[in-house]
Amino acid sequence: MSRTLWLKIGVGLLVLAVGVAAYQIIAPRVEPLPVLMTLPGVTLTNQDGQAYDLSQTRGKVVVLSLIYTHCPDICPLTTAKMKQIQDRVRGAGLATQVQLVTFTVDPARDRPAVLKQFAGLFHADFSNWTFLTGTSDQIDVLIKGLSLYVERVYYVDNTPVPETALTGPAPAGPYLVNHTDRIFLVDRRGNVRALTPGSRTDVDDALRLIQQIVQDRKEGP
């Protein structure tokens, strides 16, 4: 083999090595997502009145939101974001790997039929999106397990008063519910790996995180 050919091979290998090194420096690095908490295990009731154990979501990536159907602002916005996420997940070919779950923080009023009607307003596809209610104790398991803030707000003399500020029994009549505005992204083992800001969620960012969790086979301890 001629000296010229060896020289060309050597130069080619040098260029390749430099290219690989440059790529490793400038290529975006995806940091592993932390394990923030674990999705509590509890059996609730879905929009069709059937028992739904959250442990049955194991093996899938879960997108979890909280709402109450009398909510005038945040909850409709959050649910609209969830619908966009569902559509994007389907478009990315991930519908069989991702389960959307929405639960109410107002179980006294949000019975299964009410949740089903609410879901219908957003054209939710129940094939991979479930709406859940239950007893107050069951919902409290989720509220406490996910470190959520949830508090009823009553009207006293036309003034909104949080439940903790009442000086007497809760008045009869309508009430609102103040609550955390958040969406949880949960891996296949039930570990919460990322949070998005609920009604203000950037759907592109959410899809990127979902794809990362889908591809992450280690998924924490």
Pick out the chain residues at pLDDT < 70: 1-30, 217-221
Maximal C-alpha separation, the chain: 98
Residue ranges per structural domain of the chain? 1-30, 34-215
Q: Is 174 helix (H, G, I), strand (E, B) or coil?
A: coil
Q: What is the pLDDT of residue 156?
A: 87
Superfamily of chain region 34-215? Glutaredoxin (3.40.30.10)
Q: What is the pLDDT of residue 173?
A: 82
State pLDDT tens for residues 207-216: 999 999 999 8
Looking at the DSSP assignment, which residues form a beta bridge with residue 176? 153
Torsion, Cα of 187, 185, 110, 118 (10° steps): -110
E strands of the chain, at which residues?
Answer: 37-38, 43-46, 51-53, 61-67, 98-104, 129-133, 150-156, 159-162, 175-179, 183-186, 191-196
Q: What is the pLDDT of residue 113?
A: 98
